[in-house]
Structure 1
Amino acid sequence: MVTTLLVVVIILAVVFDFINGFHDAANSIATVVSTKVLTPFQAVIWAAAFNFLAFFIIKEHNVAGTVAKTVHEQFITMHVILAGLLAAITWNLITWWFGIPSSSSHTLIGGFAGAGMTNAMFMHSSAIAAINVKPILTIIAYIFLAPFIGLIIAYIITIIILHVCKNARPAMAERWFKALQLVSSAALSYTHGGNDAQKVMGIIYVSLVASKLIPMHAGAENMPEWIPLTCYTAIALGTMSGGWKIVKTMGTKITKVTPLEGVSAETAGAITLFITERLGIPVSTTHTITGSIIGVGLTKRVSAVRWGVTLNLVWAWIITIPISALIAAIVFSIIHFIG
């Protein structure tokens, strides 16, 4: 039986996915806008189209499966999922308002885990008993590994391009790389959709598990087709709504980006996201592209990167999971006592 609470949770999950789209739109279009290859309007349409393309190609939902198993099944209730989603939406909107490129992925995972841990304590169990430690530790490790991998790949790609094109005429090279940026931004948008939409798929999947409509052992890869269709649609529509404050931070405040460097950063980000999606690791698109942009900046000189801005971003990354978990704990406690 489909309950009202299940419908509310699914609607909130889709709302979160939409917010994720406009919150993370900056990741795939910041450089292509800052280099004036596309106007902001053209860029969001371009990014949204490739966000949605992932629906037709990605059929193994590895990331969704990981997210679904973040909290052990016996501690998952509809109220846990509701509290996690409300916390994630709250933190996403706060960071969007202040133009902070935090991770929507880690916000969602932190909220889900925080609500699950609080439920475990209300059930007179250990908070740690509620969470699946292995995927949580992997996710935390990739807060630092994903941007570092993006940084290294971007640095290598940029050095190779500079070597290959060292004798090219600057004007011709710029025209070529502006054209190539369309390809690299499309690749990044595709992998962003494929990675981030799956996180919400995982949450909707566990909401069906918690409602006893499907068993957990069925596996996220066998979820009903309407779930991925809905999630890819929501993230694409969210991307079309933009996220201009974060575009400004990502595209101009970390380091000045040329079309060549935009191609390097976006290609590195797309490669990193593709690999982690295949491995089922829910990484942050925000972290990945930020690391890639830094890697590009380092090919010029260390001082080309605005380290003050970068340090502030890192602090935002570190606090996202615990703050989201804390908000979720408070929301779940309120729901628990009211209910």
Structure 2
Amino acid sequence: MDANLIAVIAAIAAALLFAYTNGFHDSANAIATSISTRALKPRTALAMAAIGNFIGAHLGGAVASTVADGLVDLPVGMTGLTIVLAGVIGAIGWNYIAWWFGWPISASHSLLGGIAGATLAGGATVIWSGLLNKVALPTVISPLVGFGLGFLVMIAVYWIFRKGRPDKLNRGFRHAQTVSAAAMAIGHGMQDAAKTMGIIVLALYVGGYQDTSTEIQEWVYIVAALALALGTYQGGWRIIKTLGRKIIDLHPPQGFAAETVASSVLFVNTMIGAPISTTHIITSSIMGVGSTGGKRAVRWGVARTIVMAWVLTFPVAAVVGALVYFPISWIF
């Protein structure tokens, strides 16, 4: 077995490991609100999220193409493979650190940051316009949209059901959360499985096993979705606790509103091929929903810690990816 094939296999294996860590790290995105409001039992919610991730993977082709073709320009051959492998390993490292502390960071931005840092370390080209238009701008805009829409949708829910009995409304919204949580799970798969798919396609292309960096073979959909779904089913309980309990005191109406807003934003961005963060969207939506209860309804100290982790994710993952590139390049 030649070194080129070994590097391709290693890069694909690392991408699948990343998808697995992404699953247990980001499972909170789809189910934290439903678990916290007791709309779904934990294992039921995790199983539903895993299935949703698998379905969503087949709808995220545009995002996968952006990751594979629109953010970096890598040379075909061993240098390109080394960059891919180093970038993914860097992302996995930062994911584990954030998971340990219970920070709901963007695993996706860890991946993009790790690839960008390794690309610079390897002397290849980062497509800065692609990062600006497809990553940076959606990263800034989508949480603001999530916060604003979360606030407005929650106000609408309060007004529409202002004469309802609280106990009856809570039961109704618990049932409604089954649908909104399923939509979040599918949206998560559309975004996060697609990013893993993009990395696998990139590895196949620079390794010489695929003629273009935009074609996605069916087996790539399947293995990426399975890895993400398996990781999701393991459950990211540390982060579920942060999202579901530490930001606001969630009740079924708030959970439904936050999930509905977040899943809608995910679907729209997937349609245009923008690889946004599911973590940013659901967290900002929860903050927006919670802010309708007044300034003290949101625990802004926790929110500030989360936002700081968001800001640090891309540059820290880029530094780790760049540092990992050098030992990886010596091996291959």
Tell me if both proteins adopt one fold, taking TM over 0.5 as the criterion.
Answer: yes
Of 22, 33, 36 in structure 2, the residue corresponding to residue 34 of structure 1 is 36
Q: Share of identical aligned residues, percent? A: 39
Q: Secondary structure at the match of 2:293?
A: coil
What's the offset of the Cα at 1:205? Answer: 0.4
Matched, 1:96 2:92: no
Matched, 1:197 2:193: yes
Other-structure match for 2:11? 9
Q: Secondary structure at the match of 1:77?
A: helix
Matched, 1:113 2:116: yes
Asked if the contact 2:57/2:194 (under 8 Å) is kept, the reply is no
- Give the aligned CA root-mean-square deviation in angstroms: 1.5
Other-structure match for 1:126? none
Other-structure match for 1:161? 157
Of 131, 146, 150 in structure 1, the residue corresponding to residue 126 of structure 2 is 131
Asked if the contact 2:75/2:206 (under 8 Å) is kept, the reply is no
**Which structure 2 segments of 5+ residues have no match?**
none
Task: Kindly provide the CA deviation profile for residues 246-294 of structure 1, in whole angstroms up to 9, marking residues without a partner as x.
Answer: 0000001111111000000000000010011111111110000000000
Q: Which amino acid aligns with 1:148?
A: L
Q: Secondary structure at the match of 2:317?
A: helix
Matched, 1:78 2:81: yes
Q: Which amino acid aligns with 2:249?
A: K
Q: Which amino acid aligns with 2:90?
A: A
Q: How many equivalent pairs are there?
A: 326
Q: Which amino acid aligns with 2:166?
A: P
Distance 1:157 1:150 in 2: 10
Other-structure match for 2:64? 64
Task: Kindly provide the CA deviation profile for residues 102-130 of structure 1, in whole angstroms up to 9, marking residues without a partner as x.
Answer: 1100000000010001111xxxxxxxx71
Asked if the contact 1:81/1:203 (under 8 Å) is kept, the reply is yes
What's the offset of the Cα at 1:39? Answer: 2.0
What's the offset of the Cα at 1:30? Answer: 0.7
Task: Kindly provide the CA deviation profile for residues 196-238 of structure 1, in whole angstroms up to 9, marking residues without a partner as x.
Answer: 100011100010111112223xx52x31110011111111111
What's the offset of the Cα at 1:144? Answer: 2.3
Q: Secondary structure at the match of 2:72?
A: coil
Matched, 1:144 2:140: yes
Distance 2:111 2:243 in 1: 22
What's the offset of the Cα at 1:73? Answer: 3.0
Q: Which amino acid aligns with 2:244?
A: G
Asked if the contact 1:51/1:192 (under 8 Å) is kept, the reply is yes
Using the size of structure 2 for normalisation, the TM-score is 0.95
Asked if the contact 1:264/1:296 (under 8 Å) is kept, the reply is yes
Of 294, 317, 321 in structure 1, the residue corresponding to residue 314 of structure 2 is 321
Of 248, 251, 270 in structure 1, the residue corresponding to residue 244 of structure 2 is 251
Other-structure match for 1:180? 176
**Which structure 1 segments of 5+ residues have no match?**
121-128
Correspondence list, 1:267-278, <5 A: 267-278=260-271
Using the size of structure 1 for normalisation, the TM-score is 0.93
What's the offset of the Cα at 1:42? Answer: 1.6
Other-structure match for 2:225? 232
Asked if the contact 2:248/2:290 (under 8 Å) is kept, the reply is yes
Distance 2:250 2:216 in 1: 41
Other-structure match for 2:20? 18
Q: Which stretch of structure 1 is more off in the superposition, 66-75 or 310-319?
A: 66-75
Asked if the contact 1:66/1:282 (under 8 Å) is kept, the reply is yes
Distance 2:194 2:256 in 1: 25
Distance 1:149 1:196 in 2: 20
Asked if the contact 1:50/1:189 (under 8 Å) is kept, the reply is yes
Asked if the contact 2:63/2:194 (under 8 Å) is kept, the reply is yes
Distance 1:149 1:335 in 2: 40
Asked if the contact 2:90/2:317 (under 8 Å) is kept, the reply is yes
Task: Kindly provide the CA deviation profile for residues 58-81 of structure 1, in whole angstroms up to 9, marking residues without a partner as x.
Answer: 2x6111111112111338611001
Asked if the contact 1:143/1:317 (under 8 Å) is kept, the reply is no
Task: Kindly provide the CA deviation profile for residues 110-163 of structure 1, in whole angstroms up to 9, marking residues without a partner as x.
Answer: 00010001111xxxxxxxx71111221131223322211111121121111111
Distance 1:312 1:25 in 2: 20
Correspondence list, 1:231-310, <5 A: 231-310=224-303
Asked if the contact 2:57/2:193 (under 8 Å) is kept, the reply is no
Distance 2:9 2:330 in 1: 22
